[in-house]
Chain A
Amino acid sequence: MKNRLRVLRAEREWSQEELSNRLSVSRQTINALENGKYDPSLPLAFRISRVFDAKIEEIFFPDE
């Protein structure tokens, strides 16, 4: 799955560390998410959507 995490984070000028603190996950988790190597669970996806004040489908897209 693709996502706009890196773009959304850059728009807010947050570091990976800052985003990881806001989501209560490790920095390596943010790294794996941003690189599209790991798809989050639904609860984490909802937390991400809340942190960025955007709908899940505005952040995550299917590969197709």
Chain B
Amino acid sequence: MEASCPKSETSRTVWTLLLGSWLIALLVTRMLLKEAGIFGISAAHSALWVKTVIALLPLVPSVLVVWTFVQDIRKADEFERRLHLEALAIAFPVTVILLMTLGLLQLVIELNPNDWSYRHIWPYVMMTWLFGYVQARHRYGLK
């Protein structure tokens, strides 16, 4: 028989710190790569490898977020896993359709990459996952 699942989800504080650090890394990266820079520091004219490292900076908190999410799922009980599965079942295809729509639109319209681009996949997934999670909770009579 399956062992009982401990209830030790990552605290809200840890999640806030992780998502906050991801957001800060994203903002700092964008500002560093611009001419104006941040606090007088700019990497706009640095070597390509320096700019590449800076551009990939947000990957560090992103990987931590994914790792924490997977740990939470592994610790979750069967019902919580069901909620997450239903949320992801909505989030994944909806995000794919959204990206496909953007790709198709780019065939005929020149979209501003600052507004719509593949860089925004993460927020799309977050938003569609949240939507799916709320839907799943509603389906099971939870507020």
Residues of A within 8 A of B (CB): 20, 23-26, 28-29, 31-33, 35, 37-38, 40-41, 43-44, 46-47
A24 in contact with B1 given A29-B77, A40-B78, A41-B78 (CB within 8 Å): no
**In the complex, which residues of chain A have a beta carbon less than 8 angstroms from the beta carbon of B80?**
26, 28-29
A28 in contact with B2 given A35-B141, A37-B140, A38-B140 (CB within 8 Å): no
Q: B140–A23 contact, CB under 8 A? A: no
Q: A25–B7 contact, CB under 8 A? A: yes
**In the complex, which residues of chain B have a beta carbon less than 8 angstroms from the beta carbon of A20?**
7
Q: A38–B7 contact, CB under 8 A? A: no
Question: Does residue B6 face the partner (Cβ distance < 8 Å to A)?
Answer: yes
Tally of contact residues, B, Cβ under 8 A:
16
* Total contacts A-B at CB 8 Å: 49
A47-B78 Cα distance, complex, nearest whole Å: 13
A46 in contact with B1 given A25-B77, A35-B141 (CB within 8 Å): yes
Of the candidates B4, B79, B141, B142, the one whose C-beta lies within 8 Å of that of A24 is: B4
A38-B140 Cα distance, complex, nearest whole Å: 7
Q: A28–B79 contact, CB under 8 A? A: yes
A28-B142 Cα distance, complex, nearest whole Å: 7
Question: Does residue B82 face the partner (Cβ distance < 8 Å to A)?
Answer: yes
**In the complex, which residues of chain A have a beta carbon less than 8 angstroms from the beta carbon of B82?**
38
A31 in contact with B78 given A24-B4, A43-B1, A43-B2 (CB within 8 Å): no
Q: B78–A44 contact, CB under 8 A? A: yes
Q: A28-B80, A43-B1 are in contact. List 19 more A-B contacts (CB 8 A).
A: A24-B6, A24-B7, A24-B77, A25-B4, A25-B5, A25-B77, A26-B7, A29-B77, A29-B78, A31-B141, A31-B142, A32-B141, A32-B142, A35-B141, A41-B78, A43-B2, A44-B78, A46-B1, A47-B4
